[in-house]
Amino acid sequence: MLLLIDIGNTNTKIGLYEGHLKRVLNFRSVMEEIPLEDIAHAQRIDGAVISSVVPRLGGSIAKRLERHCHIRPLIVNHRIKSGLRYRIKRPERLGPDRIAMAAGARWLYKGDLIVIGFGTATTFSLINRRGEYIGGAIMPGLRISADVLAERTALLPRIRLRVPEHVIGRDTEENILTGLIIGHAGATERIIREMRQEAGLRRAVIIATGGLADLVVPYIKGVRYVNPHLALEGLRVLYELNVK
């Protein structure tokens, strides 16, 4: 059994892989809330791979795996084998989650690719058919945008993110939902269009992933695939490239 650990700013996903992704567990990205030893001891774990955008938490989990489970995990960074060639400035600053998503997309899909991760931040990664990571974009995610709107205004409430029932909002909450969801979708379409044009890759395949993808994707034209576990699939690919 392979342990796949994707640590984000808000949530941590742990996947159990044995021939296929058998189970996915979700936790808040708080150290005390991840029962790592219980998960590892309940299964026969042969290896582990960690992608973490929270260095302190990633380092702690790696130490826990070594100390209690006698497993030295593979840590994702730009130096490991990924099947990608980086055509960007300072690849050492590229998020491990984006490396995992790009590697997973490169393995699972063909052609020129734009991978969009709808998480705490919304990230765009452009990978051409030769496996070159050309670059991307980052914008605030839906939840951050909703939180900031509530925190920085006197009268606007904190809302639960959901698919809007109407584009024309009929109360304050519906107004906010339209602005957030439809506005985010519009910004996403614009970035896709500009990336395709600038790179000369007008037929680049669009792949969406991340915990908030289902809210936005229905309003975005041209998304070919929605893969909620793309980062975990990428972690499995990275493990096989580097360990097996």
Which residues are marked as active site?
97
Q: Kindly give the residue spans of alpha helices, DSSP state H, lying in the chain.
A: 36-41, 55-69, 96-108, 142-151, 172-177, 183-199, 213-216, 230-242
Q: Which two tokens stand for residue 240?
A: 């096989």
Q: What is the DSSP letter of 110?
A: -
Q: How far apart are CA 36 and CA 23, in angstroms?
A: 14
What is the chain's Cα-based Rg? 19
- 217: helix, coil or strand? helix
